[in-house]
Amino acid sequence: MRALSIAFKDLQIFFKDRGAVFFLFLVPLFFVIAYSGVASAFGEEAEDVKIALPVVDLDGGETSAALLSGLNAAGGVETVQYDEAEAHTLLENEQIARLLTIPADFGANLARSVPVKLKLVNTPSANARQTEVVRLVVEGVARDLTLQNQIFTSLQQMGEMQGNAPEVFQEAFSTERLQAQAQSQFENSRGRPLVTVVQTVPAVEEEREETPNLGLLAVPGFAVLFVFLMAQTTARSIYDERKVGSFRRLMAAPLSKATLLTGKILPNFLTALIQIVVIFGFGAYGLKLMDFTPVPLGNDPLALALVAIVVALCSSSLGVVIAAIARTESQIGGISSLLLWGMGAIGGSIIPLFALETFLGPLPKIVPHYWANKAFENVMIRSLGLVDVLPQIGVLLGFTLLFLAIGVWRFDFE
């Protein structure tokens, strides 16, 4: 109860500071709006651009031309024809993301109902979503072309049979029988298509994750950044207590050191949770009202709540470390700015993790912000559950214990 009394006093002091409230609660919303607006503008521009599909047409006949026409008319894909040698050079150098090759005997084999294969090769760096779109379009157009060919072949065969047969046998090849035969070809095309697509992706050392929407990443990213900035508030609160002499009076009271530190950490913890609720609530509902893409909150509320609690604890314990290291007000400001903003930048709160990991490799993993951002992304953006984020929660708890140990060891209670 004594710890709660200390915490309640600190919360009253904090919420009377309008500048601090504005910075920790409203400034992150401005960041989210700006980031979402930029991402939305780039996203709308990208939606108008069709996926380029380089094609090598070794057949050059009417059937391959019909295939290319169908691909362009299907929507979402625009074919670009290349010479075979040039195309393979560009593909090897990853100057094009994928290549569709139409074999030389495509039209002739299709006319004889001989199965043929279209070859679709993707580079390791090809966007996974675009690759899937291209595959579906090519398969759909090829299936339609196969069906059309089989129908024409079937009707031609039936017509020849009926035209050559004596009149007495023409009834055996009536329209009903022709329709039944066409239906049989329909079923055959679905079960055993003449054209199949063989898609290959060269082996890579590690699986590449699909890039999330940048606007969605802004909400958890800035939430993590500003929650950890609360650590500076904890450090400044302890310094102010020492400056006015009230900390010495608290030490003289019948309070244990653990109770005292808990009372100083608790306001940070509660305020951080309120920050997360405000920022995530704005991301889920406020952005929607502003016609931006709202951030999903995931499918596992328990996982989201546990991650938020652990992140708030980690931020609070980091505040104790800053208070233990800094001796003056200027040191608190300098250490906090350098440490907290630097950790936020390295940990993926300002620049998305997928971009940072490309240039910095495993370096971002040394800061808690990385694990906090990773956990929130997994729960909210990728809709993973509690089991999937237990590794990130475990690492954040490890950081929390480490910060508390360093803070208690270096903290001057005198």
Tens digit of pLDDT for each residue in 4-39?
A: 665 666 667 667 777 777 877 888 888 888 877 766
The pLDDT score that the predictor gives to residue 209 is 47
Task: Return left, alpha or beta for 367; rule: phi > 0 is left, psi -120 to 50 is alpha, else beta.
Answer: beta
The pLDDT score that the predictor gives to residue 391 is 95
Spatial strand order of the sheet with 77-81 comes to 77-81, 51-57, 98-102, 116-122, 195-200
Q: What pTM value is reported for the model?
A: 0.59
Give the rounded distance of the alpha carbon of 30 from its chain centre. Answer: 22
Q: What DSSP assignment string belongs to 88-109?
A: HHHHHTTSSSEEEEE-TTHHHH
DSSP-based three-state secondary structure for 120: strand
The CATH number of 50-200 is 3.40.1710
Q: Say how far apart CA 400 and CA 389 lie, in whole Å.
A: 17
Beta bridge partners of 144: none
Q: Say how far apart CA 88 and CA 191 lie, in whole Å.
A: 33
Tokens of 235: 């450090």
Q: Say how far apart CA 149 and CA 195 lie, in whole Å.
A: 11
What are residue 408's phi and psi, to 5 degrees? -65, -40
- Break the chain into its structural domains and give their ranges: 2-42+210-410, 50-200
Q: Say how far apart CA 242 and CA 262 lie, in whole Å.
A: 17
What are residue 338's phi and psi, to 5 degrees? -65, -45
The pLDDT score that the predictor gives to residue 395 is 96
The pLDDT score that the predictor gives to residue 376 is 95
> Which helix (H) or strand (E) element contains residue 301?
helix 301-325
The pLDDT score that the predictor gives to residue 10 is 66
DSSP-based three-state secondary structure for 406: helix
The pLDDT score that the predictor gives to residue 204 is 45
Q: What b/e sequence results for 320-338 when a residue is b if at least 16 CB atoms lie within 10 Å of its CB, and e otherwise?
A: bbbbbbbeeeeebeebbee
Tokens of 312: 């708030």
Q: What b/e sequence results for 80-101 when a residue is b if at least 16 CB atoms lie within 10 Å of its CB, and e otherwise?
A: eebeeeebbebbeeeebbbbbb
The one-character DSSP state at 209 is P
pLDDT under 70 in the chain at which residues? 1-11, 13-14, 38-49, 147-215, 239, 241-258, 260, 411-414
Question: Length of the chain, please?
Answer: 414
> Which helix (H) or strand (E) element contains residue 77?
strand 77-81
The pLDDT score that the predictor gives to residue 44 is 46
The pLDDT score that the predictor gives to residue 4 is 64
- Per-residue pLDDT tens digits for 101-129: 999 988 888 877 788 889 999 988 888 77
Q: Say how far apart CA 179 and CA 384 lie, in whole Å.
A: 50
